[in-house]
Chains A and B, each alone.
Chain A
């Protein structure tokens, strides 16, 4: 087993941005290594199964045939070991990967906020439900309530419906007026407008808040408040999420400092403050697959020295940035109702079973860590930290050096004298 490897261009993430970056960089003749933690390329939005198809397939197949491109699925970056080296971990073991240029395409995760009963089996995120269905979980004949806020609700409802589920309700927290404002402005992006229209469903209700998921061993129903009225719906699954949050851990570990829940800062050639590090896609700011694609192309071209071609894409980039700004401005992100629905025994840290009551007297992470085990479990605060930042304004905990649980055997097999022995970043 190789303990270390070198590549010219390392790309983390094979969603739309990473695939586009790999495709653009591959034409340069430089060596490209594309790494992704799922079993197949496509990220979240183009998720597919082995032997399956998605919008990712044509490019993924082409890349697989390209002599300059190595693809490692089922592989994640667990550790930034230096400015030009990371530790990658896969089922067969880990290795130190050194690189000349890095393109971070780490995408986004869902904003998952605590509510009473959210820990019951059968309660998932909205994107989480889509991911489950696309990976083979059957929802045929199941009654599902989709809740929270954001454009993902309708897309997820459609996926579930096509998979044979009955969507009992799409409970959107935002008010009808806000949604109308968001929809009206979509005329500038006709394909988005068409998407919105086709995804519309009669069970959609705005101004609808999740109060509680009910059940004992698993979810059996959900209590909702619409306007001033509360009601209870029986269901087999509750999918609740509040939009997307950029994944910026690798950038933080490199010493770049994205603001809490903002994306990685880049210039219009997708370059970060570190000249050899680029970032593209949802990790630079939420904006959808089209934004991710063009940013990936730009990053791949720029990282491989194809600057003129990269610059030609700026107009298209600007178009999708305008779309991202439109959605951000017009889709409200008010979570006070969620904060109010929490009860003292609502768990905030799921890894360590810490209820809200234990955190009530804490004003931030320093105090929380002084008095509880909040954030000390395997997710290392990725879920509860994001929730606390959103609901209470807590500064998120600093990213640990190990960015995901990793087999000790993998960590132990990593001596490497190969590649640039750069000084470590981010002390």
Chain B
């Protein structure tokens, strides 16, 4: 469809100004396009999440995407303003017993192969590096290159950085329908472009019902300031198991020290409840797990509890690239809990596919085709 005879509002319209949408807009603008970003400003996963920049190795495609993306984050690091609160705290993966130590060893090997250095820690090392952890943990794996960032402010920077001539435009609006390469707003306005990038996270399925995206709700708690209590982002190695339950609710230990000295406590997963109300029992379970690893947390004060919705795909990999059947529609959705980490690489892949530029990473594992019956594509790529 589209309205080629009408005035174009931009070369590309990006739907969604979360970290992924902003990264796509930034990359497209750097490639010379005029970009219009639309967002309803209700806030999504970017505003709700932890902003953990972490190499994840659950499968090779995830590893490739997160490693490449983290390398891109490091290039941004020196350019980010103070307000983005870059915190080079690294991740400390915790092993509670010998089988988890083996998991740590295997993880180290996989990371090493991908060029990511890490350090195995003994129980004694843990006591020195993180005295607040309970005694009796078997050890851990420190990934010093991981970090944390305040993603909403990175969005601001991405939208404003770059050559003023190719300034990204923003419009607060609700998109009610995709008519790629145009979009229709809730007030009836139609905006026209050469391409539309869908990057609105968990709401993508509303606009594009064939996308296999399911909301996976998470809950977080943040404390008052307790500077110096925790030094690294702490995650239990058992996280991997709990994160991939297809059904039911689960919790895992995941605590991030903010530069303010506040502790950000996660993590939980639930399907099928998309309300923003915190689940009492699940919050209690999550906090008890956190207290188990960090006994001192018991007497800290929480100041806020909130929820967020992750956009989860069946294989936990994002969907990046052309929509299989709607010409002019490009996808950058389904990032689940790794949206902040993989935003730069996601934007790179989508931009490369849209413009025909070289892509630093093999895009096949992330294409939408992997889910569907074979679709026929009418155009190989859009062009600027």
Contacts and interface: CB of A to CB of B under 8 A. Distances in A.
- Chains A and B in contact, CB within 8 Å: yes
A427 B265 CA distance: 22
A371 B305 contact: no
B303 A380 contact: yes
A409 B300 CA distance: 8
B224 A405 contact: yes
B156 A371 contact: yes
A406 B305 CA distance: 10
B6 interface: no
A426 B300 contact: no
B221 interface: yes
A426 B80 CA distance: 37
A87 interface: yes
A228 B298 CA distance: 56
Contact of A409 (B224, B275, B281, B299): B299
A81 B280 contact: yes
B280 A406 contact: no
Interface stretch (A137-145, A336-344, A412-420): A412-420
A412 B298 contact: yes
A415 B284 contact: yes
Given A401-B277, A401-B278, A411 B302 contact: yes
Interface string B240-261: 0000000000000000000000
B331 interface: no
Nearest to B283: A411
A393 interface: no
A407 B277 contact: no
A402 B299 CA distance: 16
A1 interface: no
A408 interface: yes
A408 B280 contact: no
B3 interface: no
B304 A402 contact: yes
Contact of A378 (B224, B277, B298): B224
User: Which of A400, A402, A408 has most chain B Cβ within 10 Å?
Assistant: A408
B221 A411 contact: yes
A370 interface: yes
A366 B285 CA distance: 32
Contacts of A411: 221, 283-284, 287, 302, 305
Given A81-B280, A411-B284, A412-B284, A366 B41 contact: yes
B304 A380 contact: yes
Interface in B270-309: 275-278, 280-281, 283-285, 287-288, 290-291, 297-306
Contacts of B224: 378, 405
B152 A370 contact: yes
Q: Which of B41, B156, B281 has the most CB of A within 10 A?
A: B281
A377 interface: yes
| Size bin of chain B's contact surface | 20 to 34
B305 A408 contact: no
Nearest to A81: B280
Nearest to B307: A401
Contact of B301 (A81, A400, A408, A416): A408
Contact of B284 (A85, A378, A402, A414): A414
B280 A370 contact: no
B223 interface: yes
A424 interface: yes
B13 to A, nearest CB: 22
Given A402-B305, A414-B284, A408 B277 contact: no
B305 A401 contact: yes
Given A96-B280, A426-B277, A407 B299 contact: yes
Contacts of A427: 275-277
A401 B306 contact: yes
A85 B224 CA distance: 25
Interface in A4-58: none
Contacts of A405: 224, 301-303
B277 A424 contact: yes
Given A380-B304, A408-B299, A408-B301, A414 B41 contact: no
Contacts of A414: 280-281, 284
Interface string A310-321: 000000000000
Interface in B129-159: 152-153, 156
Given A87-B280, A371-B156, A377-B303, A408 B275 contact: no
A408 B303 contact: no
Interface in A337-381: 366, 370-371, 377-378, 380
Contacts of A409: 291, 298-299
B273 to A, nearest CB: 9
Interface string B67-83: 00000000000000001
B297 A408 contact: yes
Contacts of A366: 41
A382 to B, nearest CB: 12
A378 B301 contact: yes
Contacts of A96: 280
A13 B366 CA distance: 56
A96 B265 CA distance: 21
A244 to B, nearest CB: 25
A408 B287 contact: yes
Contacts of A370: 152-153, 156
A409 B291 CA distance: 8
Contacts of A400: 304-306
A408 B41 contact: no
B58 to A, nearest CB: 29
Contacts of B277: 401, 424-427
A408 B221 contact: yes
Nearest to B150: A373
Interface string A377-412: 110100000000000000000001110011111011
Contact of B275 (A380, A412, A415, A424): A424
Contacts of A85: 280
Interface in B339-367: none
A426 B275 CA distance: 9
A404 to B, nearest CB: 9
Nearest to A373: B260
Interface in A78-124: 79, 81-82, 85, 87, 96
Given A96-B280, A407-B302, 11 more contacts: A82-B280, A371-B156, A378-B303, A401-B277, A407-B299, A409-B291, A412-B291, A414-B280, A415-B281, A416-B280, A427-B275
Interface of A: 79, 81-82, 85, 87, 96, 366, 370-371, 377-378, 380, 400-402, 405-409, 411-416, 424-427
State the 5 A-B residue pairs at the shortest beta-carbon distance, nearest first. A427-B275, A412-B287, A409-B298, A424-B277, A405-B301
Interface of B: 41, 83, 152-153, 156, 221, 223-224, 265, 275-278, 280-281, 283-285, 287-288, 290-291, 297-306
25 contacts: A82-B280, A85-B280, A87-B280, A96-B280, A366-B41, A370-B156, A371-B156, A400-B306, A401-B278, A401-B304, A405-B301, A408-B221, A408-B265, A408-B298, A408-B299, A409-B298, A409-B299, A411-B284, A412-B288, A412-B291, A415-B281, A415-B284, A416-B281, A425-B277, A427-B276
